[in-house]
Amino acid sequence: MEQRDTALDARYTAPEGETATLARVTGETGGDLVLKRVGAHYEIYSNGLFLMDTRDGTSEREMVRVGLAALPAGRSRASVLVGGLGVGFTAREALDHPRVARVDVVELEPQVIAWHDGELGEAAEYVHRDPRCRVHNADIVAWLERAAAAADPARYDLICLDTDNGPDWTVIEGNGRLYEAAGLDRLARLLTPGGLLSFWSANAVPSFEAALTARFASVRVIEVPVARGVPDTVYLASAPRS
């Protein structure tokens, strides 16, 4: 089986069912970051841990749908912040919505951004080329800390965090700060009046639901069935408590 270990080669097409390693690079955290194609689909791994693929994306899209649907009536030209570019499904769902005028995406790995210029970008229709979309190559925790510390920070109608496998299953150890009290307070500071936070998780995390409930007057937990295993979970929070 042929393996491509350095750069994405858009000319090579794996037959259905065959696995091909398209790229293997050193990620920002020092470990392996791998892009594979399995048949017609793509998979991304970090240090051997499966992160995401292009097979479905229902729950990633749902976290955007439910958030935008819950915005105050009449809200137009909405701004959306997405934590994690990944395979682009979350950003694509936001860009496809008629109410959305701006999408900022924060992605840690420059190579993931670069892969979207190749065949991986086809999965989400090259979201980074949309003039409404800006992709920031940065650590999401540090980016949010800087943004929230500004005297007059840019605010968003919807903030979607899809950076980890869940609050209790972070890809990077430091990402745990996103889900702690101070992290939730920073996120709340970046919301417009009536704005919402949306979090993706591979499983339900009751302790995180409790943390959200302590800081937001409205919290919804949405289970999204998957083909195998426990449902994916989307947490939606709004109305920060003063």
| Boundaries of every domain in the chain | 58-240
Both structure tokens of 120: 């991986």
Residue 95, pLDDT > 50, answer yes
pLDDT band of residue 16 (cuts 50, 70, 90) is low
Residue 9, pLDDT > 50, answer no
Instruction: Convert the pLDDT of each residue in 134-165 to its tens digit.
Output: 999 999 999 999 999 999 999 999 999 999 99
* Percentage of the chain exceeding pLDDT 90: 83
For range 227-239, the mean pLDDT: 94
For range 95-121, the mean pLDDT: 97
Which residues touch 242 (CB under 8 Å, ≥6 apart)? Answer: none
Minimum mean pLDDT range among 3-7, 73-77, 152-156:
3-7
Check: CATH 3.40.50.150 for 58-240?
yes
In DSSP terms, which residues pair with 46 in a beta bridge?
A: 33, 49
Both structure tokens of 218: 């409205």
Residue 173, pLDDT > 90, answer no
For range 7-35, the mean pLDDT: 74
Minimum mean pLDDT range among 11-15, 45-49, 61-65, 195-199:
11-15
Instruction: Decide which of 47 and 54 is more confident.
Output: 54
Residue 197, pLDDT > 80, answer yes
Note whether 209 and 222 are within 8 A (CB): no
pTM of the shown model: 0.91
Q: What share of the chain is helix, strand, coil (3-state, %, to 5)?
A: 30, 35, 40
Structure confidence at residue 122 (pLDDT): 94
Residue 233, pLDDT > 90, answer yes
